[in-house]
Structure 1
Amino acid sequence: MTRLASSDFPFTAVAGQEPLKLALILCAINPHIGGVLISGPRGSAKSTLARGLSGVMPSLDSEHLAPFATLPLGTSEDRLLGALDLEQVLQDKQVAFKPGLLSKAHGGVLYVDEVNLLADHLVDQLLDVSASGVNRIERDGISHEHAARFLLVGTMNPDEGELRPQLKDRFGLMVALSNQYSLEERVQIVRLRDEYDQDPQAFCDAFKYKQRNLKNSIRLARHALEQVRCSDELRLEVARRCHLANIDGVRGDIVWIRAAMTHAAWRGAKVVVLDDIQAVEELVLRHRRQVKTQNQSPPPSPPPSRRPDHSRSPSQNKGNQPQDQESAQGNQTNEHNDSGEWGSMEPHALASSAPINVGVQIESNGQSSTLACIDEMTPGKRKGKQLSGYRPDVAHPVERSSADGIDWFRSIISQPQAWPPKELIHKPAKTGQAVLHLVLLDTSASTLSQGVFAHAKGVILDIAHHAYLAREQMAILGFGQDGVASILPKVRAPKEIADLLEDLGAGGGTPFRVAIENASQYLAKQHKATTGLKSQTYILTDGRTQADVSDLVLQGNTVLIDTENAPVKRGRGQDIAQHLGAQYVLLSSLLENC
C-alpha cells in the first residue's frame, strides 16, 4: 500500500498537541506498547497526526511510506480480514485469497475513527489479531494466514458510548485532547493550514528535512531500545503507583515499563530514570485508573534498602526531543440562553421511587412494541393494556436481511457445471441480535412536582433490570439544567444503577429539541455501526415545551411516557408523540396498573 509523500499534512508541521505526538512516537518506536487511544472533540488534529505518523514511521519497505489503513464503522468482516477473491474465481476458476485491511495495515497504522461504535464482532477480531500479530482465516473454502503487526490508533467520543473494557485495555496509551488553543496557537495553526492548502507539494518539501530527521531518530531509538535497562527499584515504583491507581491486572505495569524504556531510548539514554516513569504516567493510567473502594488495603511500603531511585535525567536534550507535558483536558459545557426553553432554577436531587415494572416487547418487524406492567406475584405472566399511539403511516427503517451475505464458495462448488451459478447460497444468519435501550430523561425543573421525577427514575430502574437480564445495551441522556448530558454512556445494562439515579438532580428549562436532535444523530450512528440493531427509545417528559420536532426522526421504536401528573394537561406529550411517530402512555396509568 503506497502513498505519495505529499498526500498528507506533515507530522512535524502540526502545531501543539505534544502529549499525542509523544504517545504516537513512542508507539512507533516500540509497537509492543500496544497502540494509542485518543479521546477528544472535533478539530483537535486527531486524524491529521494519525495519518501523518505513517510519513515518519520507518517502514518494512524503505522505498515507500509505512502503510496507513482506515477501518470504517460499517465495514464487513470480509473487508477487515480478507475473503475469497471473486474476480479470480470467475476468471480462472481458482480459489484465491483477497487481502483485507489487516493485511494492508501490516507494518504501518490501522486507524479506527469512533472505535467505541465499532461492531462487537469486529472488535473481537481486532483483539485476536492484535494479541497474536497473525491473521488466520478459515472460511469460504480458504485456509490462510498472514502477519498482521500494526500500530492501532483509535479515536472516540465518550458521550457516544463506552469502549469495551477488553479493547480499551488493549490500547497501551491514551490521550485526552482539547480543541482550546491560545491566540498565538490559533494564528500559527491557521497560517500553516493556509500555506498547505495553497501549495501542498511546496509545503511538504519545506518540512521534508524535519520529517526525515524525525524518521531517523525513531529508527535509531528502535535499535537503542535493545540496550535500555530498568532497575528493580523503578519497577517497584511503577508497581506501587499502579496499586494506588487501582488498575486491574498487571498489563498496566507491563505497558508502563515498556513505555518508560522507550522514552529513555528516545532521549538517547541506556538507563531508565524517574523522569521517564513520570513522562508516560498519565498516558498509561488515564484509561486504567479506577476509584479505590474503602475495603482495599494501601500498597505495601518498599523495603528501606530498595528505595526508588529519584535521580533526574540528563539536562541535555537532542533534536526532536519530546517535551514532558500534562495531557490536555477540558470537557466543554455548551451554554444556551433561550429564555423560552431554559429556566434558572437550581438543580435538586430526589430519591428514586421503587421500580415501576415496565416490560418491552419488540416485534421482529421492528414496527411495534408493547408496554405493560408486569405482575410481580405471577412470574412469567403480564397484565396491562396495549398502548395506543403507533402510526402505521409513519415510515420506519427497514430491517436488513438476517443472512450474512452470499456464500460464494458453496454456490460455485455446488453447481460445477453451471457458469455462472444459477442459484446463490446465502450464509447462515448469525445467532443473537444487538438491542439498545436509549432513555431520554427530562431533568428540567417542571418535573419536580408531586414526585414525578422520582417515579420517572423508577421506570428507568425497571428498564435497566430487564435489559440486564437479557444482556442488552443501555444508554441514558438527560436534558435540562445546563443542556443535554450523558448520564450513562452505552454499556451492557448494569445490574445496579440505583446509586447513579439517586444522585441525579433536576432543574432549569427544557431543551427538548436539542435532546431529540442529539438522540436522532446518536441512533443513526449506532444503526450504521451495528448491522441489524434493534433500538428502543424511551422519552420520559412532562411535555412542558414549545419545541417543534415534527421534522425529526428517531430510528427504531419509540415510546413517550408522559410524566405530567395533573387533571388538566398543560404539556404537549401526546402531540409530541404523534409528531415522532411514538407510542404514548401516561405514567399515572402505569402507577395505577401496578
Structure 2
Amino acid sequence: MGLALVLTSISPEIGGVLVRGEKGSAKSTTVRALADVLPWIDVHDGDRFSTDPHDTNATSPDLSTDPGAARGPVVSRPVRLVELPVGATEDRVLGSLNLEKALTAGSVEFEPGLLARAHRGVLYVDEVNLLHDHLVDLLLDAAATGQVTVERDGVSIGHSARFVLIGTMNPEEGELRPQLLDRFGLTVEVAAPRDPALRVDVVRRRLAFDRDPAAFVATYATQQAELTRRIAEARARIDDVTLGDAALLKVAEVCAAFEVDGLRADIVTARTAVAHAAWAGRRFVTRADIRAAALLALPHRRRRNPFDAPGLDEKLLDEILGDDDLPEPPEPEGPTPADDATDASDESPTEAPADIEPGDTDSTDPAPGDTTPTDPDPAQGAASDDIAAILPPAPQQPQPTGDGTSTTVKSGDAYRPRLFTVGGLGHGTPGRRSRALGDTGRRVGARPGHGAGALHLVETLRAAAERHATSDTARTAEGRFTLHASDLRTAVREGREANLLLFCVDASGSMAARKRMTQVKAAILSLLTDAYRRRDKVALVSFRGTDAELTLPPTGSIEVAVALLDDLPAGGRTPLAAGLLTAADVVRRERLRDARLRPLLVVVTDGRATAGTDAVARSRQAAAHLAALGVPGVVVDCEEGPLRLGLARILAGHLEAEHVPMARVSATGLVDVVNGRVA
C-alpha cells in the first residue's frame, strides 16, 4: 500500500489507488498521512483553483488570461487532502452556480467544487464502493483526463483537476462493478498483521501517540522529511526515465498473457513502471520495475466474473518476464539525472521504507518509521481469505441432521437473468432496479420547502415571482423582490432504487434430489449476479431438520452469499413454519433499519410441513402473519410425481403470493418466475 501511494503521488496519471481490506486495518489512517509527506506546492495567492504558477500554459477562472496582467504573489502551502463524503451531490463535486450572488446581485458566478479544491492534491473517498455510480464515473474521468468541464445552470467553465485519487473499501460491504474497478490505476489488498509481535508494536505506537502526539510526531520527523525529499526527487526525475522498446514489449506480453480486457492495463502498467524506476533512481525501466507495476496494476483487471477475487499468479509473471534483465537502451542525448542517484534495491528498509516491492515474502520487520506493511502479498487472494474468515466452516462430509443425512450439491452455471422490478414508486437507496423518487435521476417536478435534495432554482424563483405579483409591497426600493423561506422548492427526481431479495429455501430431504437443488442453486446464483450489478441487498433463509436459519443476513456483499450458496446442505424434515417466521423477522428488522427498502420474497418449497406438532396449522399461521406484513412474494411449488397434494398452492394462498408449479422450477424457469413478478 505504501509503494502504491508513493508511485501514484509521483505520477498522478497512473489513475489513483483502490485499497481493499478488512475493517480496522488502518486504510484511512495511512491515506490521511500521505498528504503530510508530499512536497509543498506553489500557488497564486487567492487562486481557488490552485493553478501552478510555473506552468505557462495553465489557466484559472480566478486569474486573468492576459499574458501581461499581474497574477498576484506566489505563496507555498501544504498539499490538500480533500475527503469526498459518500453522500455528496454532483453539484458539490463539480461545482455550481453561486446561488447567493445570483439572487442578491443577479450575477452568474461559478462556485468551485471539491474537484477544484483537490487540484494538485489528494482526493480521498472512504467506502468508495458505497458511492453512487455516476459520481464514481465522474471522479475517474477527471482523474484520467486531468480536466473538468461544467455546463450547467447557465455556467460554462473548464479547469484543471490533476489529483491523486485514492479510494478505500471493505469488500464485506459490497463490491465495485468491474467496469469501475478497471478505472482505478492500481489496487492493493491490505490486512491487519497476524504476527503478535507486530500487533504489539502497533498498539504500543498508538498508545504513545495518545500520550503525547507532538513528541511522537517529532520522533519520526527525520524519516518523514527523508521520504518527502525522495518523492520530490522522483517527480523531478520521472521525465528523464526511458521506457525502451524492449521494456514496452515486455509490458504488452505480460498484459496479453494474463488476458486483461482493453489497453488500459498496458498504459497503466507502463506508467507505473516508469514511476517505479524514478522512485528507485534508475534512468531506464528494468524487469524489476515491470514486475512491481504488474503486481499493482493487473490483479483487479483479470476478473472474469463479478465474484472472482483479485489476484495474480506470480510464478506465471516470472516466467513471462524471464530471468534475463532487459537490454539497456542507449543513453539519451543531453543532460541526464544526477549520477549519485542510487538504486533502491541496494538501500536498507530504514533508508527506503516504502521500497518493498509487492510479492516480497522475506521482508524483515519494519524499522521505526517504516510505512510499508509486511502483510502477505495482495496477489495471494486476500479477499477470498477475508470471506473465509467470517464464514462458518463448510462440512466436508455429509453430516446427520437427526432424521436423515444431509448432502451438499454445487450450483450449476450462472447466466444473465431478465430484469424484474417492484411495482410502483419507491423511495429507497439509489440503485439500478425499481423506479423510485430520490436525489438522483431525471428531474420530474418540485415540492415546497428545502429539505433533503437539491434546490430547484427555477421553481424557487417562479414561486417568488408569483407571490410578488400579488403583493407590490414585497419589492425593495430598487424594484427587486425579496426571497422568503416559503418560496424555496426542492427538486423531485425519478431514478432507480435497490431492493432486498429475500430467498427462503426449503433444504429438507424432499428437496435434496441432486438435480433439483442444482437447478435451484443455479437460478439463485444468477439472481445474485444480477443483484450485484444492480446494487441490491440479498438475504438467505434456509430451513431443514427441526429449525430454520438465517444463513445470510441482509447484506450488499454478494460474494459472501455466493460462497454460502455452494455450501448450503440439504436433508432432514421440513420446518416450514420456522422458515416463514424467520423470513418475517428479517423483513421486520430491515424495515426498522430502513423503511424505504422494499423486499421481494421468493419461497422455494413443495409445501410440506413435517417438523413438530401441528406442523401444517403452524405453517399456515406463519404464512398469514407474513402476508399481514405486506411483503410481495412468489411460492415455487417443487412437488413432483403423478400424485400431488397441492400444499404449495394452499401455502401461496395464505401468503397472498403467486403460485408457480414445479414444471417451472428449472434454472431458467425460476428466474423467469422471479423476474416476471410485479409486486
* Matched residue, 1:123: 136
- Return the alpha-carbon distance in structure 1 between the equivalents of residues 421 and 506 of structure 2: 23
TM-score normalized with structure 2 length: 0.62
Find the partner of 1:334 among 366, 390, 394: 390
- Return the alpha-carbon distance in structure 2 between the equivalents of residues 560 and 275 of structure 1: 53
* Matched residue, 2:302: 289
Distance 1:144 1:230, change over 3 A: closer
* Matched residue, 2:20: 39
Decide whether the 8 Å contact of 1:140 with 1:409 is kept in 2: no
Over residues 326-364 of structure 1, what are the superposed CA-to-partner deviations in whole Å (9 max), with x where a residue is unaligned? 234332422559xxxx97955223659999999654112
Distance 1:546 1:477, change over 3 A: closer
- Return the alpha-carbon distance in structure 1 between the equivalents of residues 34 and 96 of structure 2: 29
Find the partner of 2:88 among 57, 60, 75: 75
Distance 1:550 1:579, change over 3 A: farther
Over residues 211-264 of structure 1, what are the superposed CA-to-partner deviations in whole Å (9 max), with x where a residue is unaligned? 221111100010111111122222222111111110112211111111111111
Distance 1:87 1:442, change over 3 A: same
* Matched residue, 2:9: 28
Number of residue equivalences: 495
Over residues 79-130 of structure 1, what are the superposed CA-to-partner deviations in whole Å (9 max), with x where a residue is unaligned? 1111222333455443322221111211111111222222122123223322
Find the partner of 2:568 among 506, 513, 532: 506
The farther-off stretch of 135-144 and 453-462 is 453-462
Find the partner of 2:409 among 330, 348, 353: 348
Over residues 135-188 of structure 1, what are the superposed CA-to-partner deviations in whole Å (9 max), with x where a residue is unaligned? 222222222222211111012233443323343222111001122431111011
* Matched residue, 2:640: none
- 1:558 and 2:571 equivalent? no
- 1:153 and 2:166 equivalent? yes
* Matched residue, 1:591: 660
Decide whether the 8 Å contact of 1:70 with 1:112 is kept in 2: yes
Find the partner of 1:51 among 32, 42, 45: 32
Over residues 457-480 of structure 1, what are the superposed CA-to-partner deviations in whole Å (9 max), with x where a residue is unaligned? 476489689989xx9555655567
- Return the alpha-carbon distance in structure 2 between the equivalents of residues 244 and 540 of structure 1: 54
- Return the alpha-carbon distance in structure 2 between the equivalents of residues 133 and 264 of structure 1: 23
- 1:419 and 2:468 equivalent? no
- Return the alpha-carbon distance in structure 1 between the equivalents of residues 660 and 579 of structure 2: 15
Q: Who wins on radius of gyration, i.e. which is larger?
A: 2
- 1:405 and 2:454 equivalent? yes
Decide whether the 8 Å contact of 1:33 with 1:259 is kept in 2: yes
Find the partner of 2:626 among 570, 577, 592: 577
3-state SS of 2:77 partner:
coil
3-state SS of 1:98 partner:
strand
* Matched residue, 2:57: none
Decide whether the 8 Å contact of 1:448 with 1:506 is kept in 2: no
- Return the alpha-carbon distance in structure 2 between the equivalents of residues 310 and 151 of structure 1: 32
Decide whether the 8 Å contact of 1:443 with 1:506 is kept in 2: no
- Return the alpha-carbon distance in structure 2 between the equivalents of residues 235 and 354 of structure 1: 38
Find the partner of 2:493 among 420, 429, 443: 429
Give 1:435 deviation, angstroms: 4.5
Find the partner of 1:256 among 269, 272, 295: 269
Give 1:208 deviation, angstroms: 2.0
Distance 1:154 1:357, change over 3 A: closer
3-state SS of 2:158 partner:
strand
* Matched residue, 1:4: none
Distance 1:225 1:455, change over 3 A: closer
Find the partner of 1:364 among 419, 425, 428: 425
- 1:60 and 2:41 equivalent? yes
- Return the alpha-carbon distance in structure 2 between the equivalents of residues 426 and 354 of structure 1: 42
- 1:140 and 2:153 equivalent? yes
Distance 1:223 1:467, change over 3 A: closer
Find the partner of 2:346 among 316, 333, 337: 316
Decide whether the 8 Å contact of 2:541 with 2:583 is kept in 1: no
Amino acid across the alignment from 2:326: D
Equivalent residues in 2 for 1:154-233 (5 A)?
154-233=167-246
Give 1:284 deviation, angstroms: 0.9
* Matched residue, 2:371: none
Decide whether the 8 Å contact of 2:38 with 2:228 is kept in 1: yes
3-state SS of 1:162 partner:
coil
Decide whether the 8 Å contact of 1:225 with 1:265 is kept in 2: yes
Over residues 521-571 of structure 1, what are the superposed CA-to-partner deviations in whole Å (9 max), with x where a residue is unaligned? xxxxxxxxxxxxxxxxxx999549699658612442223333332443648
Q: Which structure 2 segments of 5+ residues have no match?
A: 43-74, 306-315, 329-342, 360-376, 394-399, 429-435, 446-452, 466-478, 543-548, 638-648, 650-658, 665-679
Decide whether the 8 Å contact of 1:238 with 1:257 is kept in 2: yes
- Return the alpha-carbon distance in structure 2 between the equivalents of residues 256 and 506 of structure 1: 41
3-state SS of 1:287 partner:
helix
3-state SS of 1:258 partner:
helix
Distance 1:354 1:123, change over 3 A: closer
Distance 1:76 1:487, change over 3 A: closer
- 1:325 and 2:388 equivalent? no
Name which structure has the greater RCO, CA cutoff 8 Å, separation 6+.
1
* Matched residue, 1:86: 99
Amino acid across the alignment from 2:301: R
The farther-off stretch of 544-553 and 273-282 is 544-553
- Return the alpha-carbon distance in structure 2 between the equivalents of residues 122 and 30 of structure 1: 23
* Matched residue, 1:17: none
Decide whether the 8 Å contact of 1:246 with 1:291 is kept in 2: no
Q: Which structure 1 segments of 5+ residues have no match?
A: 1-19, 293-297, 368-397, 492-499, 511-538
- Return the alpha-carbon distance in structure 2 between the equivalents of residues 399 and 550 of structure 1: 22
Give 1:484 deviation, angstroms: 3.7
Give 1:23 deviation, angstroms: 0.2
3-state SS of 2:157 partner:
strand
TM-score normalized with structure 1 length: 0.70
Decide whether the 8 Å contact of 1:41 with 1:178 is kept in 2: yes
- Return the alpha-carbon distance in structure 1 between the equivalents of residues 157 and 660 of structure 2: 60
Give 1:442 deviation, angstroms: 4.3
The farther-off stretch of 162-171 and 416-425 is 416-425
3-state SS of 2:238 partner:
helix
Decide whether the 8 Å contact of 1:116 with 1:162 is kept in 2: yes
Amino acid across the alignment from 1:325: P
Decide whether the 8 Å contact of 1:542 with 1:562 is kept in 2: no
Over residues 268-299 of structure 1, what are the superposed CA-to-partner deviations in whole Å (9 max), with x where a residue is unaligned? 1112221111122211111112469xxxxx99
Decide whether the 8 Å contact of 1:350 with 1:504 is kept in 2: yes
Distance 1:485 1:348, change over 3 A: farther
